[in-house]
Amino acid sequence: MFAKNLKITIAHLYPKLLNIYGDRGNIITLVNRCKWRNIEVTVDSIDAGDNIDEDKYDIYFIGGGQDQQQIQVAGELQKQKEKLFNAAQSNSVFLAICGGYQLLGHYYQPHDADRLEGIGILDAFTVAGKKRFIGNVTAKLLSENTNGELKTLVGFENHSGLTYLQGDTKPIATILTGNGNNGSDKTEGARYKNVFGTYLHGSLLPKNPHFADFLLSLALEKRYGEKIELQKLDDKFEIAAHNSLVNKKY
């Protein structure tokens, strides 16, 4: 039995500044996977200078970007820090990609610029490494981060930042191919409550429909206070795209 008249609201944080490698495709995937199920979905772009209504959104998305754009967004996020922190504590879902991910931690220390203060939703920190990690990534999801048949995440990484997790912030997956958080501890991404960060561009969700639905399930549970079964979709093309990339290096 599937619930009727469902709704999900999404805040797309700073899309004009953090949107490299097609990270906007994650929003398109979330919207389509709602529409295909007749779930009403709205997306608000939150731009520089906008004030966030922390009670309005079920999902927050922030994409990746180069150091320059990160500097501007870091300043904006500091102005919204308390609201975003409250949203995370009330189990809103966050998906943050690469540069956006780095800014949800305590700080990002670029190579040749001042340290960028993060908003500390994730107990993590990032320092620029000497080498830029560029290439395909396959990672095995930790069991608590998926409810579908597929157990891997595939995507593309392009970052020099090395991210280290601490405290209650745990990885979302372990690296099978590629580098992930820092190229040394075999972790990829981060999760605290319903806040997810990942280095996977691609964009991530079109080729990882199971993870998209996992995030939608969490967002519905947060909004309606109970687990709601999502109607199954015919994902043959998405799964074929996913499997074509599993353990593909180049």
**Which tokens is 166 given?**
């601490």
70 forms part of the interface with ligand GLN (CB under 6 A): yes
Q: Classify burial at 159, counting beta carbons within 10 Å of its beta carbon; exposed 0-12, middle 13-18, buried 19 or more.
A: buried
155 forms part of the interface with ligand GLN (CB under 6 A): no
CA-wise closest residue to 19 among 203, 161, 174, 190: 203
User: Looking at 47-55, 61-69, 185-193, 242-250, which segment touches ligand GLN (CB under 6 A)?
Assistant: 61-69
| Closer CB to ligand GLN, 70 or 194, in the complex | 70
| Range 72-91, binding ligand GLN (CB under 6 A) | none
Which residues are within 8 A (CB) of 13 and not within 5 positions of it... i.e. 6 or more apart? Answer: 46, 60, 61, 62, 73, 77, 100
User: Looking at 3-11, 27-35, 60-68, 114-122, which segment touches ligand GLN (CB under 6 A)?
Assistant: 60-68
Of 7, 35, 38, 66, which lies in the binding site for ligand GLN, with binding defined by CB under 6 A? 66
CB-CB neighbours of 177 under 10 Å: 17
105 forms part of the interface with ligand GLN (CB under 6 A): no
Closest chain position to ligand GLN (CB): 64
| Closer CB to ligand GLN, 183 or 228, in the complex | 183
Of 25, 65, 155, 197, which lies in the binding site for ligand GLN, with binding defined by CB under 6 A? 65
Looking only at Cα atoms, what is the longest distance across the chain?
Answer: 55
174 forms part of the interface with ligand GLN (CB under 6 A): no
* Residues with catalytic roles: 98, 201
| Closer CB to ligand GLN, 104 or 230, in the complex | 104
DSSP 88-142: HHTT-EEEEETHHHHHTSSEEE-SSSPPEE---SSSEEEEEEEEEEEEEEEEEEP
159 forms part of the interface with ligand GLN (CB under 6 A): yes
CB-CB neighbours of 162 under 10 Å: 21
64 forms part of the interface with ligand GLN (CB under 6 A): yes
98 forms part of the interface with ligand GLN (CB under 6 A): yes
Q: Report the alpha-carbon distance of residue 167 to residue 70 in Å, rounded.
A: 25
179 forms part of the interface with ligand GLN (CB under 6 A): no
Helical (H) or strand (E) element with 27: helix 24-35
* In the complex, minimum distance from the CB of residue 105 to ligand GLN, in angstroms, rounded to a whole number: 12
CB-CB neighbours of 113 under 10 Å: 13
Contact residues: ligand GLN, CB under 6 A: 20, 64-67, 70, 98-99, 158-161
